[in-house]
Structure 1
């Protein structure tokens, strides 16, 4: 054993701190948990007075090493307390394996909040998003509407795929939503006439060429949108639309008439 290690073990001040960590009462234990010494903190985990409130205070620290967090996770208190599970997930030093184990125990909007935590790792965010998406099919409509306002891009994509008009309308205004998702949605069976019209009149999407093209190629698009969008297309775009093979009789006729007007 090195001299420095012997000195540390025999240091009376360190011994007193460790003894205090093991024997402090509830109020004194809060002071112990402010210690910079990991050995002192580890000893405090064995204090009989330790309760949920102490651990919640400790988990607010951002300097805890992984091995100490693992020790906290193994405590019976952590297994019994929802608040401690959430605090463990929120601590940026909690190992990803523990975060993944704890995510199924969190409430829906706690999972959403995890996605936006400062310092959240990509893997942790992805795991939280997947947990949210798995719950979407059984989530009440009111919560889906809130998710549409707060969700990340993958969550919004999953909500869009369900095609509920009330949810779709809110998703369209969420800054997280991507044009590619809207394009894919317009090409899916969930794109009803009502949903297509929502997109076609939405100020964010109604001027996007790719979105307009997808709207015009959908056979469920109401004819009114052909009347409104076709005049804004050039001749080459009209010919491309006509050649797409995606138009039924009435919609094909609208494009042909628009081309005829260009020639005369």
Structure 2
């Protein structure tokens, strides 16, 4: 029993000495303490006043860090005003969704976009980053919205579409994350305008999709040039179905009647 107590006392003294060394180590020695398998030693090294950005970013490259280490970094003096460290914490796979929600407000808009596109990002982390981007959109400058529309994820692109700005729309239409269903919903919404409808109608990727053609032909805001051009390419039964839509404007309905009569049919 006495030997066990003595061994424990020696062990405790050794741990205390290592903790003290970690907190007082010079810059070159710090990396050794930051790589220690004992979490308490690493956290003591993080509190070392000589720790710098390079030390912390090297530590954050380790993929097997525990959440408490990430918390210790986040709460440290060095992380307080250091943007690269905040970004590295956000990118780390061990950062929990709750912790990430604290970090996201400190990231720039395109930091968030990059985070969403990271390979292997957890679903809840991606959603949190997307929501952070969407919350900022009302105050985001137009140029940034256009740049974002080129690279954003599907959820963000869908939100950008709702703004119905033709300058942003052009970038959205070229984004590979944009889905046909999103455009269909946009064309069926009050947000669509003659200009944005025309952009979709002439876009090489979207103009030949049947569902979008139907949505354009049953949108009362569709410019007549597209309406009459596409109407002539439809089958007789398709034109009858268009006529039965309750969304047509009076001018569009007259055009349908004219086309039906031209083909020898009636309404």
Provide the residue aligned with 1:31 in structure 2: 32
Provide the residue aligned with 2:207 in structure 1: 206
Aligned 1:148-187 pairs, distance under 5 A: 148-187=149-188
The unaligned stretches of length 5 or more in structure 2 are none
**How many Å apart are 1:8 and its aligned residue?**
11
**How many Å apart are 1:42 and its aligned residue?**
2.6
**How many Å apart are 1:141 and its aligned residue?**
1.1
Q: Which has the larger displacement, 230-239 or 154-163?
A: 230-239
Provide the residue aligned with 1:259 in structure 2: 260
Provide the residue aligned with 2:128 in structure 1: 127
String of CA shifts for 1:134-181, please: whole Å, max 9, x gaps.
Answer: 111111111111011011111111111111111101101111011111
1:59 aligns with 2:60: yes
- Check 1:88–1:37 CA distance in 2 against 1; reply closer, same or farther (3 A cut): same
RMSD: 2.4
String of CA shifts for 1:184-231, please: whole Å, max 9, x gaps.
Answer: 111222211111111011111111111011101111111111222113
Aligned equivalents of 2:262, 2:84: Cα separation in 1: 68
Aligned equivalents of 2:199, 2:53: Cα separation in 1: 49
The unaligned stretches of length 5 or more in structure 1 are none
Aligned equivalents of 1:9, 1:161: Cα separation in 2: 67
Aligned equivalents of 1:9, 1:218: Cα separation in 2: 81
Aligned 1:74-223 pairs, distance under 5 A: 74-223=75-224
Output the TM-score relative to the length of structure 1: 0.89
- Check 1:179–1:262 CA distance in 2 against 1; reply closer, same or farther (3 A cut): same
String of CA shifts for 1:23-74, please: whole Å, max 9, x gaps.
Answer: 3201221233233443432331232322333222211211101122122222
**How many Å apart are 1:82 and its aligned residue?**
2.4
Output the TM-score relative to the length of structure 2: 0.88
- Check 1:9–1:67 CA distance in 2 against 1; reply closer, same or farther (3 A cut): farther
1:242 aligns with 2:243: yes
How many residues in Structure 1 have an aligned counterpart in Structure 2?
Answer: 261
Q: Is the 8 A contact 1:9 1:15 kept in 2?
A: no
Detail structure 1 runs of 4+ shifted over 6 Å in the superposition. 11-16
